[in-house]
Amino acid sequence: MRQVKLASALLLSLTAGALVMPVAQAAEKCPMEKRQSRAVGETVGKKVQKSFEAYTNGQVDEAIAILLEANAKGDFDKAYVARMLGNFYAEKGKMDTAIKYMKQAVEADVLGGTDHAASMKLYADLLIQEKKWKEAIAIYYKWMDFACKTDDPVVYRRIGIAYSELKQWDKVLEVADQGLSHAKEPDKNLYQMKLTAYFEKKQYKSAVKVLETMVPLFQDDKRLWIQLAQFYLLTEDFPRSLQTYDLSYRNGFLKEDAGSLVRYSQLLASQGSPYRAATIMEKFMKAGVIESNAKHYEQLAGFFQNSKEIEKAAEYYGKAAEEKKDGKLFLKQGRMLALAEKYSAAVPALEKSLDAGIPNPGEAHFELALIHLQLKQYKSAYSRAKLAAQDKKTERSAKSYISYIQEKARINNVTL
């Protein structure tokens, strides 16, 4: 909250003419209008006049010093001087001292209606600024009752901030709705309070409803679109989440948001569009928005694999494998290359998987046996099949191929 400034109304009330105030007509409906104004004593009045003149000349320290020498005696004079000191100290940024004097002015409860209301309001604002949440809430509600001001969205927002800090989420929802009911225009901050409260209460479907209201009202706020997509994810409404991410992407809201781009790609892949997922993720990895790391390489490889882009899948499995030195990823790379009939590239990838270590070495040996068989390298195929047969995971498959390899070698006059 920005530093509290003296309101023009306050300045006017401190002029010489204000030292002798007319008695307000009492109104039946509002306590503030019933409270009669009074004049400060002559001695204190001179100090107040002199202090205000110093203030208007930009001499705030001198204005404070004059008031501190005022030696006010009666309750009203003390409260009046305390109110001025509170305002001056607030303007100087000395909030603890400002709060001390505003508390004196408010608790005296003797100032004229307008002055007392303004003192209460400033006191509450200072308490909020200094994170004195409970005290501020109480004073704001007293101000509402005294000034009959129950229609100020800004005050409801400040009360909502205090309740949020106290984690009283039901109260946050209550004051946010009160503030919105009086707002002349949609108040984004009050809506955001409701959203936060529902999130903290884990009422995600209610949070979605808030966002569905906010997005049309504040269409240019990209954060709201992204939040809505994320909350659809939380409620497992995947089609709507994808639709919202898609609209956000087309409107350019995701182009610098790596996390959202990754989630968007993942949703595309899971909802039947793996190729589009791959092209978007690859584009933003190359642009440097999405970090080029092993995790993202592996995800991208999976997208390309699911979209039958086998060579691209092999490329990114290889990049992930090189970065992590992960035997299982080298194995995936080798399989993709073999499937693409890139045998000369598949062999070293599979050898790397064995060098890096995999839980079942027979898997790599079996893939190598199939490659060598395809290349009519029967001796190497036989050797790899024998090794694969020693692994329980590939034992049955390997043994079924051993006799086949032996027969092919015999036909082609190859000694095993």
pLDDT by residue for the chain (416 residues), tens only, comes to 434 443 333 333 333 333 333 444 444 679 999 888 888 888 888 998 999 999 999 999 999 999 998 888 889 999 999 999 999 999 999 999 999 999 999 999 999 999 999 999 999 999 999 999 999 999 999 999 999 999 999 999 999 999 999 999 999 999 999 999 999 999 999 999 999 999 999 999 999 999 999 999 999 999 999 999 999 999 999 999 999 999 999 999 999 999 999 999 999 999 999 999 999 999 999 999 999 999 999 999 999 999 999 999 999 999 999 999 999 999 999 999 999 999 999 999 999 999 999 999 999 999 999 999 999 999 999 999 999 999 999 999 999 999 999 999 999 998 88
Tokens for 391?
């692994």
SS3 at position 90? helix
301 Cβ contact list (under 8 Å, min separation 6): 312, 313, 314, 315, 316, 317, 320, 332, 336
Buried b / exposed e along 257-295 (16+ C-beta atoms within 10 A)? beebbbbbbbbbbeeebbbbbbbbbbebbeeeebeeebe
Structure-token match 């009045």, residue found? 45
Residues composing the chain:
416
For 267, phi and psi rounded to 5 degrees? -65, -40
- Distance from the first to the final alpha carbon of the chain: 84
35 Cβ contact list (under 8 Å, min separation 6): 24, 111, 112, 113, 116
Number of helices followed by number of strands (H, E) in the chain: 23, 0
9 Cβ contact list (under 8 Å, min separation 6): 114, 118
Structure-token match 């494998």, residue found? 321
Long-range contacts of 284-289 (CB under 8 A, 24+ apart): 284/255, 284/258, 289/255, 289/256, 289/257, 289/258, 289/261
Q: Are 343 and 374 in contact (CB under 8 A)?
A: yes
Structure-token match 């989440």, residue found? 241
Q: Are 33 and 26 in contact (CB under 8 A)?
A: yes
Q: Are 52 and 87 in contact (CB under 8 A)?
A: no
